[in-house]
Chains A and B, each alone.
Chain A
Amino acid sequence: AQKITQTQPGMFVQEKEAVTLDCTYDTSDQSYGLFWYKQPSSGEMIFLIYQGSYDEQNATEGRYSLNFQKARKSANLVISASQLGDSAMYFCAMRGFNDMRFGAGTRLTVKP
């Protein structure tokens, strides 16, 4: 069975600084996708970034980048130049052959 681990229940970062949110995963699937979603206090799930297991380059989307280390089975999210609006829950997820599983999440708080 797939397992996603986020070891940081909460993180603080100063506005305009960079922050890394950790994610490790475990799967026996050869092909899979890794995702990060943001959930603000309003509750909706917002897709941020995607990395395919066969992609050799790390994915980037604006201020978001995914640090993919396949051998270590890690998929850390890096947010550069943090903004107050980045304060939210962040979920790492992995989609294998059929289903998609999520980690427990990290609550990020950006300090002014």
Chain B
Amino acid sequence: DAGITQSPRYKITETGRQVTLMCHQTWSHSYMFWYRQDLGHGLRLIYYSAAADITDKGEVPDGYVVSRSKTENFPLTLESATRSQTSVYFCASGGPNTGELFFGEGSRLTVL
């Protein structure tokens, strides 16, 4: 089915471990985004990508790494997870210019 999917939906890990959150979209949207949602902060942009092999930092990029080798995939990696990275992570995709973004269902990450 067409859409945007995130995996895993729920993840518990320990401080210092590497974690990768996956995001896959079937619309061939050029733009993809990663946000984190914490109480009182709304959604904060971590990284975004305008096309394959083009990525850029958002508001809160520290501690995160992204890649985009294919248009449809945009994985987010926490190289050494910290408790402050406990959050709900949303992936989104959209076309160029100023149009709507389409969101995945979110991935809830807990770092112990």
Contacts and interface: CB of A to CB of B under 8 A. Distances in A.
A40 interface: no
A99 B105 contact: no
Contacts of B52: none
Contacts of A98: 31, 48, 50, 56
Contacts, number: 63
Interface in B23-59: 31, 33, 35, 40-45, 48, 50, 56, 58-59
A6 B99 CA distance: 21
Interface string A88-112: 0001010110111111110000000
Nearest to A1: B59
Interface residues of B, number: 27
Contacts of B101: 35, 47, 93, 95, 100
28 contacts: A31-B98, A35-B101, A37-B103, A43-B88, A44-B106, A45-B90, A45-B103, A47-B100, A47-B102, A50-B99, A50-B100, A53-B98, A91-B43, A93-B101, A95-B94, A95-B99, A95-B101, A96-B98, A98-B48, A98-B56, A99-B56, A99-B58, A100-B92, A101-B45, A102-B42, A102-B43, A104-B40, A104-B42
Given A96-B98, A98-B31, 11 more contacts: A6-B42, A44-B103, A44-B106, A45-B90, A95-B99, A100-B101, A101-B59, A102-B42, A102-B44, A103-B42, A104-B41
